[in-house]
Structures are given as C-alpha cells and as structure tokens.
A = this chain, B = another copy of it.
Amino acid sequence: MTTIREATSADVGAMLSLMRELAEFESLTHLFVATEDGLRDALFGARPAAEALVAEKAGKLVGYALFFHNYSTFVGRRGLYLEDLYVQPDQRGTGLGTALLRRVAALAVERQCGRFEWTVLDWNQRAIDFYEKMGASIMPDWRVVRVADDALEQLATGAKASNG
C-alpha cells in the first residue's frame, strides 16, 4: 500500500536521491548541484521556498511532488506552480502520479489559486499524454527564458553579454 503525505525533515535524504533520478531521466544531471542541507532549508527552514508531498511504499519513498506559489497579474491571484513531479520507473502506471497531481490540485483549489501550472519537456510524450488526459492544456506559444551564472552577473552589472 502506498501513502501520500506531506514531506518531513526526515525525508530530505531520500527526496534528494529521487531528485537526482529525475535529473538523470531528463538528461539534466549537469545542472544538478542541490544538497541535502539546501533542500532541508528550502522546505523546512525559517523562510520556506517550497512545499512537498511524498509517496511512500513499504517505508520507502518512491515519488514526490514539489511546488510553490506563483502569481498572475492577469488573474490577479496566486497560483500553484509544480516544480517537480516524479515517480520511480518501476512504480509508474500504478496511479501514483495521478494521486500526487490530484493532491496538489486539491491544495490549489483549497487555497483559491487561479491556476495550477508546470512545465514539461516537449520530447516527453508519455508525460504530455498523461497531463492532457488529466485535463491540463499544453500551451503551444510560450517559451521559457533563462539567465544564469555568468550571464546573470553580466546582466546585473551591465557588462557586455558574451553573445551580445
């Protein structure tokens, strides 16, 4: 039997392992530099940056959802943004992803959020099919823009961007 519950500080090590698995699945391990202390602080520190639910089976974490609030000026209300939804490969197809997604959606409704949003990689057709089946819309025309590392420093200071 699988339980979905709020994450606690004792889950942080196992959650970080699952996050690394997700980065591997998304071929993004080069971006993975998170630490246990950082995650603990983000979820359970004095000024939490995110919240998480975990899926536990036979005393072992097999999935998680991590989310935080965003805000839409057009809707004029907070929303919920799902940063990660992960279920271990051998647990897929058992309804765990659905259950996690529903639980976060229920929080969004309970907190009167205008929207529940996340992003998906365009090659992850299995995920796209799953989200559409759950009633979500894949927005065709928005692109994510990112500035990080040296480019962020340069943008902040007004130094010439390396590709500018």
Query: Which residues in A have some Cβ–Cβ distance to B below 8 Å?
Result: 19, 22-23, 28, 31-35, 38-39, 42, 49-50, 66, 68-78, 81, 83-84, 101-102, 105-106, 108-109, 113-123, 128, 131-148, 151-158, 161-164
Contacts and interface: CB of A to CB of B under 8 A. Distances in A.
Given A76-B35, A146-B117, A154 B139 contact: no
A49 B140 CA distance: 27
25 contacts: A32-B74, A35-B76, A38-B77, A39-B73, A49-B78, A50-B73, A70-B70, A70-B81, A73-B83, A75-B148, A105-B155, A106-B157, A115-B147, A115-B152, A117-B144, A121-B141, A121-B142, A122-B140, A122-B142, A135-B151, A136-B151, A136-B155, A137-B147, A137-B151, A139-B143
A113 B70 CA distance: 16
**Interface SS majority for chain A:** mixed
Task: Give the number of copies in the complex.
Answer: 2
Given A102-B158, A135-B163, A156-B106, A76 B145 contact: no
Nearest to A29: B74
Given A106-B157, A122-B141, 17 more contacts: A19-B74, A22-B73, A23-B74, A50-B71, A50-B73, A70-B83, A72-B83, A109-B156, A113-B152, A114-B148, A119-B142, A119-B143, A120-B143, A122-B140, A135-B147, A135-B164, A144-B144
